[in-house]
Amino acid sequence: MYKNALMLAVLTLFTLVGAAQQSLVSNYSEQIGAPLDGHFRVSHIAGTEEAYLTPIHQSSHAANLLQLKNGDILCFWFSGTQEGQSGVAIVVSRLAKNSRQWTVPKTVDRHAGESYQNPVGFQAPDGTVWLFHTTQEAGAGQAHSSVLVVKSHDNGRTWGKSAVLFDEPGAFIRQPLVIMPNGYWLLPMYYSTSRGITTGAESNYSAMKISANQGKTWKECDVPSSGGYVQPSVLYIKHHYVAFFRSRFADYIYRSTSPDGCRWKAPVKTSLPNNNSSIQAVLLRDGKIAMAFNDVSAARVTGKPAVGPRRPLTVALSSDEGLTWSAMRDIEKGHVGQPGSNPLPKVPEREEFSYPAILQQSNGNILVAFTYLRKTIKTMSFPESWIQK
């Protein structure tokens, strides 16, 4: 019966996507064992719901979520043949307010000879949707990357042309922009001064870009002693700022604070492990922090840049601004014996659940979007209480 439902869902989806995508969707659906149609269904994990978004290219990675003022939620990610190759695009899917199904993704930005990565969406107070993303020459690595911006004036349905925002070599982004109490904009940044995420990656460092004029100009604030600590996820809590960092050393998630968003303390390790892969935190309405991350570090912590498995994927709660974590629960565990101990190569072959994005929906549920096997983006929804069981 389940197989019949799966076949029906795939056939229905074929009417919505191009012929070139049909084989991809069909193959991936069969391999994953679920329809890749964006429709929320009850998960095998009691108390949660899940939806697999429709892939339009071979590889999918690095989702980010944006909840619009009209109640819609946008999910951005990059998609193409393989990370770092020519023509890797930024795509977007929409979960309309009160809908149970994500739309088939559309391409926002793509350019032959360039590889786009790490989209970050933001809706300005005037309603304009800004989409920041990185670009690098195909096959050249990250050391000469820059950051582009593309805008939409109709809630992300149509987009203008992209333009260079930050052209400092190695400029990279990953985490959402924060509107400061004074109306200034704070965009977390980092500089990928090495070609990749291991050799020489101890020289990568974080900074904050702050704009006092709605993105027209920006000043940069360094994060001291942040060599090897990147992709800061920044929250404004009780009149100050807290940031959490990915570690190139694949040891722990690191934490820093600032009184004003510009003057930062040196990052210090938390109790949560890190595998040199992305994390993301969100401030919930009850004042707790929810963190999405891979609950694993490298097999051996050596003090040098390293990598660890990209599984399991876990959510954790903190009631004291990330100093301690009172509850945590896996949302994807993986399978023992499957490839995953080495998170390279970046192809849809190994078992990987990574690069989570997390937000709290208008109904109070927590929504997480993440890379699923590099084949698609999976989203999961559950109440905060589910983490505490």
- pLDDT digit string, tens, across residues 143-177: 999 999 999 999 999 999 999 999 999 999 999 99
Exposure b/e, 99-124, CB count within 10 A at least 16 = b? eeebbbbeebbbeeebbbbbbbbbbe
Question: At residue 30, does pLDDT exceed 50?
Answer: yes
Question: What confidence tier does 4 reach under pLDDT thresholds 50, 70, 90?
Answer: low
Closest CA to 47 of 387, 282, 291: 387
Which residue shows structure tokens 């109490």? 181
Q: Which of 71-85, 129-143, 163-177, 338-352 has the lowest mean pLDDT?
A: 338-352
* Pair 297, 375: CB distance under 8 Å: no
Residues in contact with 27: Cβ distance below 8 Å, sequence separation at least 6, in sequence order: none
Question: What confidence tier does 344 reach under pLDDT thresholds 50, 70, 90?
Answer: very low
* Pair 120, 146: CB distance under 8 Å: no
Question: At residue 314, does pLDDT exceed 70?
Answer: yes
- Structural domains of the chain, with CATH: 1-33 (no CATH), 38-387 (2.120.10.10)
Question: At residue 191, does pLDDT exceed 50?
Answer: yes
Question: At residue 222, does pLDDT exceed 80?
Answer: yes
How many residues does this entry show for the chain? 389
- Specify the pTM: 0.93
* Pair 313, 354: CB distance under 8 Å: yes
Question: At residue 315, does pLDDT exceed 70?
Answer: yes
* Mean pLDDT value across the chain: 93
The pLDDT, as a whole number, for residue 334 is 82
Q: Which of 175-189, 190-204, 324-338, 372-386 has the lowest mean pLDDT?
A: 324-338
Task: Write out 182-246 in H/E/C secondary structure.
Answer: CCCEEEEEEECCCCCCCCCHHHCEEEEEEECCCCCCCEEEECCCCCCEEEEEEEEECCEEEEEEE
* Pair 50, 39: CB distance under 8 Å: no
